[in-house]
Amino acid sequence: MTDFLDLPDGRRIAYRLTRGTGPAIVFLPGYMSDMAGSKASALFEWAREQGRTCLLFDYSGCGESGGDLAEGTLSRWRDEALALIEAKLDGPVLLVGSSMGGWLMLLVALKLGKDRLAGLVGIAAAPDFSDWGYDDAQKAQLRHGETVLEDNPYGPDPTPTYPGFWSDAQLHLLLDAPIPLDCPVTLLQGQADADVPWQTSLRLVERLTTPDVLLLLSKSGDHRLSSGQDIARLLAAVEGHLTRA
């Protein structure tokens, strides 16, 4: 069942929550994705069967949440995740971020602080994609306030990048400096990923200050990492973090 959290500025954030033993799993979907996606759904059902706490939600402008995608930014979505965690969860959380959600996972973790973090699981995590994911011509368009449209391999409509999202994202670049996090981290990455170069995960491993980082590379894995085998790896990674917490 979907519930809603009303924020002070009128945003209405859709979420699903199953309660059990902690730490609580919090899933952060990718750009233009939502809590109905295959990885989020599989994680939620697994948590319910295992008696674990799990929180899914839709960013404003996505899925069942209110708002306009054109107003979405990393800052805005990070703060929505933090508001939900503060309002609905007690104790430590295990953040699981997919693609752009992997960037948000890091931003949320940096705000939460070590006392609330049980660990991080990144799935094709894409920190800094506003920098490495666009060519010079596209960046020039965005700087001049124009929306960039790109072919969408997952649907009939093109994927828009709005200038507000891009300019905000440029304020949150992480890969050129140490990322001061101390919790355990697992990164799942496909080497056949056409959207996020697998070398991005290597850069992330280097930048994280925690020594407790495990990178799992799938030679045939694509960006979505949603095959049965990929989902099994995800659930095993999550279980491993929860067992040691």
193 annotated active-site:
yes
Q: Are the CB atoms for 163 and 181 separated by under 8 Å?
A: no
Residue 153 exposed, middle or buried by CB count within 10 Å (0-12, 13-18, 19+): exposed
Q: Is 223 a catalytic residue?
A: yes
Tokens 């030679």, located at residue: 219
Q: Are strands 21-28 and 12-18 parallel, antiparallel or unpaired?
A: unpaired
- Say which residues have a Cβ less than 8 Å from residue 130's Cβ, sequence separation at least 6: 165, 166, 169, 170, 173
- Residue 99 annotated among the catalytic residues of the structure: yes
Within 13 Å and on the Cβ side, how many CA atoms surround 119?
22
Residue 43 CA to residue 4 CA, distance in Å, equals: 20
List the catalytic residue out of 98, 99, 201, 218. 99
Report, as residue numbers or ranges, the catalytic residues. 99, 193, 223
